[in-house]
Amino acid sequence: MALYIYPDLTESLHRLWAAGLVISPWLAGIDGNARFDPEIHEFLHDRSRECAFIHWTEAERALAIGDLPAPERMAQIAVYETAASAAVNLAHQKTGELDVTEAMAFDALQRVENFINDHGFATLMQLYMLETCWENLNALRYFGEIPERDYVRGSWHRPWVDYSLGEEVLFAYSLGNIELEKRGEHRFVRLTDEGRRVLEKTTDALQRAGYFRYRLETLCVSQFNLFNNYDKTDRMVWPNAIDERRAFLEWVGIKAGMRVLELGCADGVLTFAAGLAERVGPSGAVVAVDPSTGMLARARGKQRRQEIDWVDFRQGKAEQLPVDEERFDIAVGVGYLHFTNRSEALQEMKRVVRPGGVIASLHPLKMDFTAPFFREWFAPILDLAAKREEKPRDYLLHPDEAPRDFKQAGLEQVEVFMSSSELVFPDAKNVVQHFIRGVGWFGEELAPLPWKAREDLIQELIERGQSVCARYSDNERRIAWPAQSIRARVPEEPSGKE
């Protein structure tokens, strides 16, 4: 019988997110380097220590871990890690960068303290233990065993930690989840059968709570934040990017004087280079939305240089548009739909587009991985899927998905136009930077891997890419990527209502 100590934490996890908190920063740019200056570390460390001593009472211990021995330092670390993760997350959200200021650290800590006051310290401890337990056990399953030193320092699976995981070893050992083996002078940490069962249960619980999806979304937005050369790599891999975006805007029917909502505007490539703002003109208006602060900063930079004042860039997600009273003639975007929860996003767009208005998307579709150069280059990812006897997981859509969702959302006159975009794979570094570290293609395959395994795989993709680029001609390193344009109308009258 597996010693699985967690109650259903789904609701608690959602409350944690609602409080702006995350545990273990699955964010781009977080690696073995220090997350912040020692001064900020000291502040968070001291305050976390105080917080844990006040709250980690006998009653809270009983609630959180029943009759198990109470790890003393783990309570401080739970507070510290949550505040540290939240601080980095805040930096990503507010500036699109990684630098944590004192104010952000203070804000993060305040949020943790508020959460504890509202939901109890035991809840925070359980959430911390559940998430880090998954991270630990998942890494052990993947690697088979981890040298004790690397495990305690988190260097293979949680390289961002700046504290020792020694107490977590003791705790997991006391639960019977892990065992240690001595070989020569070294010691190795391994999963027990019980640990394997606990990992399964933990995975199920987190899956049900939507944790992995949330983690993937957060990672994706943070990747866009740090994706400084998107403009450049986008055009390198998609040479006709601008012309195809222009043709799409024409097809959608955007005209001067319209009020347009742009979804997933990124750094303003559709807004400016592909001419959306120009088409609409100063008599119209564009509200351009993107979840990535970093991308919006670059878009605003372009706007200042071009002196276009009828575009308003706003941070937000398609599922929760930062739009209150305004109504639009058209909601449009390129390459945004596959990043969204489509039914929620379409309902939101329907809310803000006037009756008779248009909702449209141009997005890439799932492709066959048949090109020999591609199979060779991306073999490490294709192999992950082949082991499960599945196709590789990615966020791209099947051709029937968007039309079905548009109809289910109650949109009318759904029209679809299929095309194909020529993609080229010019050089290893830019291709991997664009597709993997940038737009997060195959994120679904990479996110479940422990940190080091993921980094090693990305490095392997670069090395394979270099070899592939040396052996296949430029002409051979091309793919005709299927794309879909879709447009539909919001019904004239809300049906069945006066």
Q: Is 180 in the site for another protein (CB under 8 A)?
A: no
Among 39, 46, 102, 422, binds another protein (CB under 8 A): 39
C-alpha–C-alpha distance, residues 203 and 177, integer Å: 14
C-alpha–C-alpha distance, residues 428 and 436, integer Å: 11
Among 8, 11, 42, 46, binds another protein (CB under 8 A): 42
Could you give the string, one character per residue 44-83, with x where binding to another protein holds by CB under 8 A and - elsewhere? -x--------------------------------------
**Residue 97 or 401: which CB sits closer to another protein?**
97
Which element (helix H / strand E) includes 474?
Answer: none
Q: Which stretch binds another protein (CB under 8 A): 29-37, 49-57, 302-310, 396-404?
A: 29-37
Q: Is 99 in the site for another protein (CB under 8 A)?
A: yes
Tokens of 469: 């680029």
**Residue 25 or 291: which CB sits closer to another protein?**
25
**Residue 73 or 196: which CB sits closer to another protein?**
73
Q: Is 41 in the site for another protein (CB under 8 A)?
A: yes
Among 47, 111, 153, 452, binds another protein (CB under 8 A): 153
Among 74, 90, 122, 161, binds another protein (CB under 8 A): 161
Give the footprint of another protein on residues 319-378 (CB under 8 A): none
Q: Which residue has the tokens 């009828």?
A: 310
Q: What are phi and psi of 423, to 5 degrees?
A: -110, 140
**Residue 2 or 169: which CB sits closer to another protein?**
169
Sign of the C-alpha dihedral, residues 431, 437, 440, 445?
positive
C-alpha–C-alpha distance, residues 102 and 40, integer Å: 6
**Other residues' Cβ atoms within 10 Å of the Cβ of residue 406:** 25
Among 20, 37, 176, 393, binds another protein (CB under 8 A): 37
**Other residues' Cβ atoms within 10 Å of the Cβ of residue 72:** 12
Q: How would you label 300-315 residue by residue, b for 16+ Cβ within 10 Å and e otherwise?
A: eebbeeeebebbebee
Among 20, 120, 166, 275, binds another protein (CB under 8 A): 166
Residues with Cβ within 8 Å of 489's Cβ and at least 6 positions away in sequence, in order, are 356, 357, 358, 359, 411, 412, 413
How many residues form the binding site for another protein (CB under 8 A)? 21
Nearest distance, CB of residue 145 and another protein, angstroms: 17
Query: By CB neighbour count within 10 A (0-12 exposed, 13-18 middle, 19+ buried), where does 113 fall?
Result: middle
Among 3, 7, 8, 38, binds another protein (CB under 8 A): 38
Interacting residues with another protein (CB under 8 A): 32-34, 36-39, 41-42, 45, 98-99, 148-149, 152-153, 161-164, 166
